[in-house]
Amino acid sequence: MIVEIGHFALVLALAAALAQTVVPFWGARVGDGGLMAVGPSAALTQFALIAIAFAALVNAHLTSDFSVLNVAENSHSAVPAIYKISGVWGNHEGSMLLWVLILAVFGALVALFGRALPSALRADALAVQGLISVAFLAFILLTSNPFERLMPAPFEGRDLNPILQDPGLAIHPPLLYLGYVGFSIVYSFAAAALIEGRIDAAWARFVRPFTLVAWSFLTLGIAAGSFWAYYTLGWGGFWFWDPVENASLMPWLAGTAFVHSVAVMEKRDALKVWTIFLAILAFSFSLLGTFLVRSGVLTSVHAFASDPRRGVFILVILALFIFGSFALFAWRAPKLKQGGLFAPISREGALIVNNLLLTTSCATVLFGTLYPLALEQLTGEKITVGAPFFNLTCGALLLTACFVAPFGFSLAWKRGDLLAVAERLTVALVAGAVTAVLGAAWLSGGSVFAPLAAGLAIFVILGTLIEVVMRVRRPGLAPAVALKRALGLPLSFYGAALAHVGLGVTLLGLAGLGFGAETIATLHKGVPERVGPYSITLDWVGERVGPNYKEAATSMTVRSGAAVVAEIAPARRQFAARQMTTTEAGLATLNFGQVYVAIADPTPDGDVPARLYWKPLVTLIWLGAGAMALAGSLSLADRRLRFGAAARAKAGGGSLAQPAQ
């Protein structure tokens, strides 16, 4: 019964989304306030209905109702409760339901916090948001109904894919979707601005918080996904340039460019058309990602069992929203007024360089991801474009962007002095160069990338910190005054600083990989095996039984010299319901680096073949990403940028608001 209620609520949500699309849009055209006011209520209704549907599916999974096909195929009565819940989105149908739920959450946020906006702009934005909902709700109801019943109901479910039985599944998809789908708001507002033919700094001020939310979650989602892959796949890798990973990286790159350009637009009223373009681009990449993952054109770790009808349906949605918005852009963008002059050497100029590098790197990722698909369609030849391609193209561009970052952060708006900035950054430049040279000497003839990245990382971190200090302290300034100045700086400034430091930290983690060690060996009990500066000894091998699996378990000791520094317990789990094996890597974190051990099946006489890795600084990759996401929320907490702050700023004076620094 509850399942039917969920299904019914989903149908009603489609009706609400239709109302949200048609009525406010019509109201905005004829200037009828009553019709426009339908938008927010429809958005809230739609959110409530989808929440009911989602709760119904969660309930079915929690109670292991195997008469529901989705539950029977992706759950098992013996699975722990947390995996019953995360199993809701551990499959195609459920993950799409989560997708529309988050879409509706953002629509509801606009409905609740958008009162200050011009009513026509809000009506149009909600209408576009509603249209996206209509498309995806129709997709779910017509091709991927999670509430489908199964007759007769089986006694036991087929179990959740063991790789997905991990806290990672509870965290990674919701975070990623909050990011992906968060850009839908930015997209809707860009489309609304184009429809209205008007855009100003107030628009940027309203959109920026949503952008920061989406960007922060996307950053966390990608980081969580890569960490999950790192510890669960047993290969020690954290990024494979898998098409689906690329699909999440592309909106991140476009979104990062957007976060920067929207700052220019907000502070300087410049780059309007470009910002709109990026807004459309970011969500288009989110849609492309959804298409690549959910249509079955790619086989990857992320692809669930596919159905060709779905691919065509998503392709139609993709085409509609991407071509539709770019057509609207081509038609209306020339009407938007440009403003805000600046010299090429200025913060605006540096941000343009940043945008150029980020969008170009995004283009190289797009090319590398789609080229094999296109080539296969055209010539039938099957190729893979591997990591070397992406490292060389996207990697080189992003490293250049990292080099520009401290300069952009230190330059003044409008007209900057590059020489003065370079002088200020001297210490950081020298420290970075020394790091790179020392790193290269240490590796002596190894990869060029690692020392270069390490040097750049040091430059980015120090360069950013120098600028923060310079803002606060001048020679001869009393400490109390300096403190007052520090407190007076806007939170968004600290947010930007933290984001750049986070970038540097992540880069340092990536660079650390070049200094690691890796070996494959068969471990015998009591015989130490060296990896990097550590030695690993196998102490015990045995069998253990878990709730829905049995495992070959081991315990090992990690030593540095004679001193024991950690105990690890790598294992291999055998899941009966799906006849699958998973690798549980043994991890020990030592000074931001990790010892990583993955085992194969033990031999009958108790020896354990294993891969041993020493990965110095590897945890910095994710800590840096965490810092970037935290930076996003710090900026979000800035008084001037809170939801709804747009109206107060507008009431305060002209639309050409000056930066409050």
Q: Which residues bind another protein (CB under 8 A)?
A: 154, 158, 161, 163, 234, 299, 301, 303, 305, 341, 343-344, 352-353, 356-357, 360-361, 363-364, 367-368, 371, 381-389, 392-393, 396-397, 520-522, 572, 578-583, 598, 600, 609-611
Of the two residues 154 and 542, which places its CB atom closer to another protein in the complex?
154
How many residues in total does the chain contain? Answer: 661
Which of 125/597 has CB closer to another protein? 597
CA-based torsion, 11, 14, 19, 20: positive or negative: positive
Position 481: which residue type?
Answer: V
CB of 191 to another protein, least distance (A): 25
Minimum CB–partner distance for residue 76 and another protein (Å): 13
Q: Which amino acid is at 635?
A: S
**Nearest CA among 171, 339, 198, 331 for reference residue 271:** 339
Give me the least distance between CB of 571 and another protein, in Å please: 12
Q: Which of 169/466 has CB closer to another protein?
A: 169
Shortest CB 89 distance to another protein, Å: 17
**Cβ closest to another protein, residue 612 vs residue 649:** 612
Structure tokens of 225?
């996904």
Handedness of CA 131, 133, 138, 143 (dihedral sign): positive
Contact predicate 593/197, CB 8 Å:
no
Whole-angstrom distance, CA of residue 106 vs CA of residue 612: 44
Residue nearer to another protein on the CB measure, 338 or 661: 338
For the CB of residue 363, give the shortest distance to another protein in the complex, in Å.
Answer: 7
* Separation between Cα atoms, residue 172 and residue 220, nearest integer Å: 8
Between 44 and 303, name the residue whose CB sits nearer to another protein. Answer: 303
Burial 408-427 (b: 16+ CB within 10 A, else e): bbbbebbebeeeebeebbee
Task: Kindly state the smallest distance separating residue 162's Cβ from another protein, in Å.
Answer: 8
Which residue lies nearer to another protein by CB, 22 or 568? Answer: 568
Angle at alpha carbon of residue 288, lines to 287 and 293, rounded to 5° = 100
Nearest-angstrom CA–CA distance, 170 and 557: 31
CB of 371 to another protein, least distance (A): 8
For another protein, which is the closer residue by CB, 588 or 610?
Answer: 610
Q: Shortest Cβ distance from residue 360 to another protein (Å)? A: 5
For the chain, the farthest-separated pair of C-alpha atoms sits apart, in whole angstroms, at 83
Least distance to another protein, CB of residue 67, Å: 14
What's the rounded Cα separation, in Å, for the pair 255 and 489?
25
Beta carbon nearer to another protein, 145 or 393: 393
| Shorter beta-carbon distance to another protein: residue 362 or 456 | 362
The answer to whether the Cα torsion of 360, 362, 365, 370 is positive or negative is negative
Q: Rounded to an integer, what distance in angstroms lies between the CA atom of residue 595 and that of residue 575?
A: 26
d(CA 251, CA 287): 9
- β-bridge partners, 521: 610
User: Helix or strand or coil: residue 388?
Assistant: helix
In whole angstroms, the minimum distance from the beta carbon of 47 to another protein comes to 34
